[in-house]
Amino acid sequence: MHQGEVRWICEADMVSFFDSLERTELKEMLEVRVADGSLVRLIGKCVPVGGLDGEAMWEPELGTVQGSVLSSLLGNVSLHSVLDRWCATEVKPRLRGKATLIRSCDDCMIGFEREDEARRVRAVLEKRLGRFGLTLHPDTTRLLPLWRPSTTQQRGHGPATFDFVGCTCSWRRTRTGHWRMGCKTRRASLRRAKQAIDDWCRRPRHQPVEAQHAALGRRLRGHCNSFGVRGNFQSLRRLVDATKRAWDTWLCRRSQRKRLTWERLTDFLRQRPLPRPRITVRIWGGYPRVTPTEEPDGGNLLVRIWRGAGVGNPPAYSTTHFARAPPRAYHI
């Protein structure tokens, strides 16, 4: 985007992705990459496992159970063959402009340099996914312009914004006056996070304050690890401030007498502060990591097992200590 190679974005949203996976096609994809037949059979037994809906037991006839341990793994295996390799081997060689695919499980988007090629691939993408039982959502699947705004534009967020992996991405003007792509937490995601913190502070409000402080710290650190993207500091700070207000509200409702004042809570947070908002991912610095789409080892099914240092195994690292050589004397 910063180099001008991406000017159009195709934001693809699949309808009920985990519930629409073809189990026969998924088994064939697993047999290509997994040589152990017993493991394939074990995965086949775990896929049709259902769940409880109140007191009723239900078993899905298609796809995998959303929220299962294997759902995200099997979804990535399926889309690697359906979408990733197809874009790398069949779509990109036929384009005159640049194109790139960014995917996180079923949330994916394709960037294009030319508008006509973006519209052509958008039409073919629906047919490609239809061969494997997948359907694009007609309302949330969009083709958006995303070129860099002109230097004369002083305000705004560029021609369009898009959502990806819980973040809203758009062009922003930096302090130095340049345009740079920025991310912030989606409003719906931030609202759900605040509501989840408020609900949690209400339930265990009669527990010791030290235990509540430790649990809130774990939740805030987990949120910062997930949404700590460069440019999203303000959204993280809003969540931390909302956590302090919600905690103070429910601590004051533990009894009919308001014993905890804001000053006492401030003194307590000064001694045991909550985690500060921090950026954990710098996605705009340096060159992006490119994941190869070719099969490892030329398609040969190889398994490498490292057993570590132990009896009968070579040491994991050298245990020999080498003395540093004395400095050499130079005569001038």
Per-residue pLDDT tens for 184-216? 899 999 999 999 999 999 998 888 888 999 999
Integer Cα distance of 227 and 166 in angstroms: 8
- 3-43 pLDDT, tens digit per residue, is 667 888 888 888 888 888 888 888 888 888 788 888 888 88
The predicted pLDDT at position 215 comes to 92
Which whole number is the average pLDDT over 70-96?
88
Structure tokens at 53: 């809906």
Could you give the angle at which helices 209-227 and 233-251 cross, rounded to 10 degrees? 160
Q: What percent of the chain has pLDDT over 70?
A: 80
Sheet holding 162-164, edge to edge: 162-164, 167-173, 179-185
Task: Give the helix/strand (H/E) hosting 270.
Answer: helix 262-271
- C-alpha–C-alpha distance, residues 149 and 158, integer Å: 5
- In this prediction, residue 238 carries a pLDDT of 93
Element (H, E) at 215: helix 209-227
Whether 285 contacts 230, CB under 8 Å: yes
Q: State pTM to two decimals.
A: 0.70
Mean per-residue pLDDT over the chain, rounded: 78
DSSP state of 264: H
- The per-residue pLDDT for range 266-309, each reduced to its tens digit, is 888 888 888 899 888 877 654 444 445 455 444 443 333 333 44
pLDDT reading at 136 higher than 80: yes
- Structure-token pair, residue 103: 């995917």
Q: For residues 83-99, give the mean pLDDT.
A: 89
- Phi first, then psi, for residue 313 (nearest 5°) are -115, 145
Assigned token pair, 246: 């919600």
Give the model's pLDDT for residue 254.
Answer: 80
> Which percentage of the chain shows pLDDT scores above 90?
14
CA distances in angstroms from 72 to 44, 104, 173, listed in the order given: 15, 10, 36
Provide the CA 256 distance to its chain's centre, in angstroms: 44
Integer Cα distance of 276 and 198 in angstroms: 18
CA distance 60 to 46: 12
Cβ contact 133:15 at 8 Å: no
Determine the pLDDT at residue 156. 67
Q: Report residue 314's pLDDT band, with 50, 70 and 90 as the boundaries.
A: very low
Across the range 224-248, mean pLDDT stands at: 90
